[in-house]
Amino acid sequence: MKLILLGAPGAGKGTQAEVICKHLGIPAISTGNILREALKSGTEMGLKAKAFMDAGQLVPDEIVIGIIKDRLAEEDCKNGFILDGFPRTLHQAEVLDEMLDRKGINLDAVIEIQVPDEIIMERILGRYACMKCGQGYHDKFQKPKVYGVCDVCGGTDFFRRVDDNKTTVQNRLVNYRALTYPTIPYYEKKGLLRCVDGTGTIEAVSNKVDSILGIK
């Protein structure tokens, strides 16, 4: 299965990508995570991306396209993949199509997770993750079973993203509407778009995604 998850920042793409990854055994690829890892390792690419990310702006197309090109060439993508946070511009979508065409790969679906802005803000401002394994949590909606202990790896250190603040989220939402939104009619015209109401619980949204994908 070759999938794209679309949706505003904080809509739940990463959360659902993780669930699909568990259900289907295909890798979830987040350009945001790859950029944050690059920054943590102090690579040139990470340092170049930092100012854009901190300001809630999109990182230039050539950087993220390069990331996706390298990542899709890896062995674990042979049987499928879930793209989370890519493409984010029409140009990225067109280049992705060319890339996949050259490999003889067809996308199976593009799932747009729809969540209104008021909910987005609450989701992003409450988001945090385990420092050791990256498992995502939320202050209110996705708490670890034991307070302060990661369900997945037992880690006790957590972090919040520097770009998860009110001003940056506002910029990210403006950019989403202006730059990413045009990819929705693009995929609709191709007959690939499936829309999901993302306002229910994580499990409710996951059930809807599963039924679209014909899982279960």
Q: Which residues are identified as catalytic?
A: 13, 88, 127, 161, 172
Please compute, for residue 20, the number of CA atoms within 13 A of its CA located in the half-sphere on the CB side: 31
- Binding-site member from 53, 113, 115, 130 for ligand AMP (CB under 6 A): 53
- Cβ 116 to ligand ADP, closest distance in Å? 13
Q: Residue written as tokens 């499928």?
A: 80
The CA-based angle 118-164-156, given to 5 degrees, is 115
Which SS3 state, helix, strand or coil, does residue 159 take?
strand
Residue type, 86: F
- Cβ 159 to ligand ADP, closest distance in Å? 12
138 binds, among ligand AMP, ligand ADP, none (CB under 5 to 8 A by kind): ligand ADP
Q: How far from chain centre, in Å, is Cα 57?
A: 15
Q: How far apart are CA 36 and CA 50, in angstroms?
A: 8
64 binds, among ligand ADP, ligand AMP, none (CB under 5 to 8 A by kind): ligand AMP
- Binding-site member from 12, 15, 26, 86 for ligand AMP (CB under 6 A): 86
Under rule CB under 6 A, which residues in 118-157 are in contact with ligand AMP? none
Chain residues that interact with ligand ADP, rule: CB under 6 A: 7, 9-15, 123, 126-127, 136-138, 141-142, 198, 200-202, 205
Residues that bind ligand AMP (rule: CB under 6 A) add up to a total of: 18
- Cβ 57 to ligand AMP, closest distance in Å? 6
18 near 26, Cβ under 8 Å? no
- Binding-site member from 2, 123, 172, 208 for ligand AMP (CB under 6 A): 172
- Binding-site member from 7, 56, 134, 198 for ligand AMP (CB under 6 A): 56
Helix pair angle (31-40, 44-55), 10° resolution: 120
Task: Name which of 127 and 208 has its Cβ closer to ligand AMP.
Answer: 127
Selection from 138, 114, 115 nearest residue 126 by Cα: 138
Q: How far apart are CA 203 and CA 163, in angstroms?
A: 26
Q: How far from chain centre, in Å, is Cα 86?
A: 7
Interacting residues toward ligand AMP by CB under 6 A: 9, 30-32, 35, 52-53, 56-59, 64, 85-86, 88, 92, 163, 172
